[in-house]
Amino acid sequence: DAMVIQNPRYQVTQFGKPVTLSCSQTLNHNVMYWYQQKSSQAPKLLFHYYDKDFNNEADTPDNFQSRRPNTSFCFLDIRSPGLGDAAMYLCATSRDGYLAGDPYNEQFFGPGTRLTVL
Amino acid sequence: DAKTTQPPSMDCAEGRAANLPCNHSTISGNEYVYWYRQIHSQGPQYIIHGLKNNETNEMASLIITEDRKSSTLILPHATLRDTAVYYCIVRPYGGTMRFGAGTRLTVKP
């Protein structure tokens, strides 16, 4: 089945130690998103790629970076994780992000990676 | 972006209809209403979306008031597996999704 895959499902890192989370998709979608979801909170959009074009949210800290080497893969890099960065990180895809009413604009989410910072 | 207001929690009896309200009084003409849900420890799942007409699919129905200032998501026959947080999102044309606090729906036997 076509899907959005996130690895690993659980990641433990140390305070200040860089960490990379990965997302892959078999849907061949143009747009890939990264969300941060802290405990008992709603998902918060960090940034997204429309093809190779990177779009950062204004309030996303510089500590968070992303790479999209090809259509299928997207990475979230946290350069110096702090205790406040412990969260679930969700990757999502959509075929086209700019046609809000287009049914292809539905976002498909992966299962998430739960990050623990020690 | 238009802000949404949802009750923080609701209960529903299994087999009954679950009606989840959402207020979006500042919605503008080119903004769509989307509903997603998130079952515990899973990623959000798309349910339905609409602009001004009522919509129905295999999961749910979406009723949007004529002035578009509020909407209701209807799960016609709720099951225990429908227990989740339901997010009502107003999405501008060409814009990205921003989740609000959502409604935690608990379906009880």
Task: Render pLDDT for B66-76 as a digit per residue (tens, 0 to 9).
Answer: 999 999 999 99
**B8 neighbourhood in chain A, CB within 8 Å:** none
Find the CB nearest B96 among A45, A110, A112: A45
Residues 48-87 of B with CB under 8 A from A: 49, 51, 87
Quick one: which of A21, A35, A25, A34 has its CA closest to A3? A25
Q: Is B82 helix (H, G, I), strand (E, B) or coil?
A: helix
Calpha distance A97→B64 (Å, rounded): 23
| pLDDT at position B94 | 67
Instruction: Report the run of H or E that residue B31 belongs to, with start and end.
Output: strand B31-38
B75 min Cα distance to partner chain A (Å): 19
| End-to-end Cα, chain B, rounded Å | 38
Mutation target vs B (from A104, A106, A108, A114; most B CBs, 10 A cutoff)? A106
Which tokens sit at B89?
Answer: 């999102």
Would you say B24 and A76 are in contact if contact means Cβ atoms under 8 Å apart? Answer: no
Exposed/middle/buried for residue A22 (C-beta within 10 Å: 0-12, 13-18, 19+) = middle
Q: What is the pLDDT of residues B37-89, one digit of tens each?
A: 999 989 999 999 999 989 999 999 999 999 999 999 999 999 999 999 999 99
For residue B18, pLDDT over 90 is answered with yes
B12 min Cα distance to partner chain A (Å): 21
